[in-house]
Structure 1
């Protein structure tokens, strides 16, 4: 392909991208700033052997993106795709980026895990891509923007609406297994890039010098959230439920999570520790005033705490270890150092209870899905029954409908997930820094 023809094709691609941006911004005004923040990276085209014209590459059908907001455009695919469909994929990729699917991905590379089981991790990344697509496409359909053929849609699959990607993963696993027995595939294989699973692709080298900085991304997300909330309040447009929830969560004022966590746990423990009772384990200091009678002394109740630790694949061990150290330090401050703690690890089921003295002694076991109903049921079934249950989780789980017998504090890790209304909740950053450090 000559240089002149290559430039002509590139110019034609840029014209289509510009038209697609305008279409997307018009259909979802609250995402307009995000759509125009995408940085198109036009790749080297695959040329037809005879004509030299660009040939569409199915690998780039979804116009994949990376976490720096680079949108990778293969010329043959862009020229063969209708402008409206390109705009639809732009809105779709913005959804992956803004909702942090790469950081939430259970398949993202982690030190020491990538060498073993690479094919299995690839299958996990594919299922996560489908689940993240299902989370997004609910809202796109709500805007009366049905997706291209072959994309995952909860409505078409008979799945419940308005769930998170973490909730859709096990549902899609069940569906895929059932359809596989009948010789059918769940859906076409569509790759949205590292923006959805955090796994870099080889073609991303072409965009390594561009994209948005971390500060740029943070400011952009805040402006998008403000636009979504503003549109809802003003009544100018109907913002889909998923975007409303995200926007409200994103704009929620930040607080010192350590101070709040300490206050909530101390409040729960002090209620028990403040109670007093009589005990004959130690004679009263006034025993000499009673002839022939040994009076009891007053004792302070020692609060009993149980930890329930979410060890599903979506929560990293490093974050859990640091957060456990914070929590146990607070408990020691109220209940006294060196006390024995009971702890459960839980994914879809609770593992055997561990009795430990320090957070570092807890062996983190598990790695499947998540069901905190099972963990809380196991904790409250212990005897003696705990006074306080502290749950460490990312909140991407089902919860009991009714308040358990013990008081519950939920340490909600990261930006996503949710906790029940009957629990005391503390939002904790996904990257828990070392106390006093970065």
Structure 2
């Protein structure tokens, strides 16, 4: 995949499309996406690159010198950037972490490649020459782009990767060769979503044929995490401005009061990320599918606090609260229950965990009695939707109608936007 000086030969479409057909044969669940890409010949791209509108820019010289089997791997690699929304995720990371400039976008491209390349090759798909994987940087496999970004910077290990350019579809930064939103053969947002949905259907329909990373992606495509990042953002700001939030002193950023004490450097208070306790309703009225959705939300909450698993605990609760589990892997948490519902015990258990949480997130169908007083921390309630009172509120009493969540909780119906 290392570029050379472009030649003057035209693009060999027969070879390029033969490679795509090989990719479809060995990765049939990606067929819809691979055939949705529109090819654009370009002598300004190093190898192959994509934009967010599903155009694939191809260097004729690269196609000429690369074997068909390796070209198939590049096809799969490039379409993976688009399916996994690396351009949108890169834009969000850039805004949230204040990352600017082409150097940071190169890091995002490298991190996105690590997310894809750790398990995409093999089983009939040849790894292209120069493909970047986590092992290239001495990083663990199986993580996401956002995780990898925190673990490496540009330096000696990345000097050989300055040529890398998978296009704006990989890192969100528009290139001079991009045709843009008004160019020919671009897919609309609805068409792009339809392609992703078809691919996710293919993966979940034949789960044994896809690598772990694609299975994870397909699950999130069907059950996208709700906007906990925005909800927790407000909770973080509230917790950070409250008493006791600046607990730790640091000399990394001296106090402004140092100016009044000549010859001395005073430490400043360091803000810490909030501790979050997630209470999951495991009563009989919550379905297995909803419990699975709850675990996906736990993973999203973990990402919202910077990937700090040590700051997140999970409390399964039906009529009684269970053990408060520290978060190692969301899928490893035993969601024991199946009885009635009393989330008051879940709140009590959450507040007894040490250290006490700054935010409590409750995932429930709402069929519970709520605490009579406001907890001493920010509360977010995620409600599983129910269609019609006659079918929704029957537990042991057919006339039972649950109380609405209290006014002091921020409420969002899972599958819709947060309430104002």
| Cα separation, 1, equivalents of 2:58 and 2:361 | 43
**CA contact under 8 A between 1:107 and 1:125: conserved in structure 2?**
no
The match for 2:185 is 210
| Cα separation, 1, equivalents of 2:224 and 2:92 | 30
**Deviation larger for 101-110 or 81-90:** 101-110
Over 3 Å counting, the alpha-carbon distance change for 1:320 and 1:252 in structure 2 is closer
Normalised to the residue count of structure 2, the TM-score between the two structures is 0.55
| Cα separation, 2, equivalents of 1:166 and 1:30 | 25
**CA contact under 8 A between 1:154 and 1:160: conserved in structure 2?**
yes
Q: Which has the larger radius of gyration?
A: 1
| Cα separation, 2, equivalents of 1:199 and 1:64 | 12
**Given the alignment of the two structures, is residue 324 of structure 1 paired with residue 310 of structure 2, yes or no?**
no
Over 3 Å counting, the alpha-carbon distance change for 1:410 and 1:434 in structure 2 is closer
Alignment of 1:425-436 (within 5 A): none
**CA contact under 8 A between 1:137 and 1:153: conserved in structure 2?**
yes
**Deviation larger for 245-254 or 120-129:** 245-254
**CA contact under 8 A between 1:19 and 1:83: conserved in structure 2?**
yes
How far did 1:78 drift?
2.3
Match of 2:204 among 216, 220, 229: 229
The match for 1:247 is 218
The match for 1:73 is 58
How far did 1:126 drift?
0.6
Match of 1:122 among 97, 102, 113: 102
Over 3 Å counting, the alpha-carbon distance change for 1:167 and 1:146 in structure 2 is farther
**Deviation larger for 241-250 or 74-83:** 74-83
Over 3 Å counting, the alpha-carbon distance change for 1:94 and 1:396 in structure 2 is farther
The match for 1:160 is 140
Secondary structure, counterpart of 1:133 in structure 2: helix
The match for 1:305 is none
Secondary structure, counterpart of 1:18 in structure 2: helix
Gaps of 5+ in 1: 1-7, 46-56, 262-314, 332-339, 353-371, 381-390, 413-422
Secondary structure, counterpart of 1:40 in structure 2: strand
How far did 1:425 drift?
8.6
Alignment of 1:144-223 (within 5 A): 145-173=125-153, 176-177=154-155, 179=156, 185=159, 187=161, 189-205=163-179, 208-223=183-198
Alignment of 1:244-393 (within 5 A): 244-252=215-223, 324=234, 341=242, 375-376=273-274
The match for 1:394 is 304
**Given the alignment of the two structures, is residue 137 of structure 1 paired with residue 117 of structure 2, yes or no?**
yes
Secondary structure, counterpart of 1:85 in structure 2: helix
Over 3 Å counting, the alpha-carbon distance change for 1:341 and 1:143 in structure 2 is farther
How far did 1:196 drift?
1.1
How far did 1:250 drift?
1.2
Deviations 1:266-292 (A, max 9, x none): xxxxxxxxxxxxxxxxxxxxxxxxxxx
Deviations 1:292-316 (A, max 9, x none): xxxxxxxxxxxxxxxxxxxxxxx8x
Over 3 Å counting, the alpha-carbon distance change for 1:161 and 1:73 in structure 2 is same
Over 3 Å counting, the alpha-carbon distance change for 1:425 and 1:195 in structure 2 is farther
Gaps of 5+ in 2: 1-7, 254-270, 278-300, 314-324, 327-352, 364-378, 384-411
**CA contact under 8 A between 1:166 and 1:396: conserved in structure 2?**
no
**CA contact under 8 A between 2:236 and 2:274: conserved in structure 1?**
no
Over 3 Å counting, the alpha-carbon distance change for 1:140 and 1:200 in structure 2 is same
How far did 1:397 drift?
1.1
Secondary structure, counterpart of 2:76 in structure 1: helix
**CA contact under 8 A between 1:228 and 1:244: conserved in structure 2?**
yes
Normalised to the residue count of structure 1, the TM-score between the two structures is 0.53
| Cα separation, 2, equivalents of 1:223 and 1:345 | 48
**CA contact under 8 A between 1:193 and 1:201: conserved in structure 2?**
yes
**Given the alignment of the two structures, is residue 95 of structure 1 paired with residue 95 of structure 2, yes or no?**
no
The match for 1:50 is none
The match for 2:3 is none
Secondary structure, counterpart of 1:205 in structure 2: coil
Q: Alignment RMSD, CA only? A: 4.5
**Deviation larger for 392-401 or 205-214:** 392-401
